[in-house]
Amino acid sequence: MKSLAGKRILVGRAAKQAGALSELLREQGATVIEIPFIEIKPPRSYRLLDEAVRKLPLYDWLILTSVNGVEVFFSRLQRLKSANLSGLRVAAIGPATRAEIERHGLRVDVMPQEYVAESVVRALRSRVKGKRVLLVRASVARDVIPRELRKAGARVDVVEAYRTELPRGSATKTRKLLRVESDGRMPSPSRVRPR
């Protein structure tokens, strides 16, 4: 018997990242409904990220907090033909981010046990006093990492690699999915599945 048989699971990952998770859930018998809660968009300008990439030799630490950030960082690195990463130590927030960094040939020095900002801070706090840190992330993110690493004595530059937006139609599809129909049943997945 499949462990998720009879269960309906909403996957809210960005469309290009939902496939693998959805497939695993289906293999376990779940009915999967994909409605992306975020859409990855380029930043309004790459100017600050490009400036930081050009100044990489000045940094002691690079912190990447998502696979999306890694992809954008390395695409800008390649575009600017800046590849001087010698002496740069790297922190990744979790295993998927670490794998993407390593796929680009860069070694990850620090990955915390828990994959949240507070754990990144705990892992780096004692290593960053007097160091320059480059944090590459989404335009809207919690300020835990820069705030706490600055308290620990680091000079932290935060640059936007991408923006996240609510995809068009996702809110309506989610409301439809969550609304209980007059007979008490939830709408079927086919009625809310994105086109």
pLDDT digits (tens, 9 = 90+) for 96-110: 999 999 999 999 999
- Residues 80 and 109 grouped into a single domain: yes
Return the number of other C-beta atoms located less than 10 Å from residue 110's C-beta: 16
Helix runs in the chain, H state only: 15-27, 47-54, 67-79, 95-103, 117-124, 144-151, 170-178, 189-192
* Whether residues 56 and 146 fall in one domain: yes
Tokens of 151: 């308290």
Is 3 contained in some domain?
no
Higher pLDDT, 15 or 157: 157
| Closest C-alpha among 134, 146, 115 to residue 64 | 134
Six-digit token pair at 98?
């670490």
In the predicted structure, residue 183 carries a pLDDT above the cut 60: no
Domain range for 173 is 8-38+166-192
What is the 3-class SS of 65-91, one letter each residue?
Answer: CCHHHHHHHHHHHHHCCCCCCCCCEEE
The verdict on 123 and 174 lying in the same domain is no
What's the pLDDT tens digit per position in 45-58? 999 999 999 999 99
Task: Tell whether 91 and 180 lie within a shared domain.
Answer: no
State how far the Cα of 103 lies from the Cα of 106, in Å rounded to an integer.
7
Q: How far apart are CA 110 and CA 92, in angstroms?
A: 6
% of the chain surpassing 70 pLDDT: 90
Token duo for residue 25? 């859930």
Shared domain for 92 and 120, answered yes or no, is: yes
Instruction: Map residue 109 onto helix, strand or coil.
Output: coil
The total domain count for the chain is: 2
- Same structural domain for residues 118 and 51? yes
Please report the pLDDT score of residue 188 as a whole number. Answer: 55
Cα–Cα distance, 75 to 98 (Å, whole number) = 16
In this prediction, residue 182 carries a pLDDT of: 37
pTM confidence score: 0.79
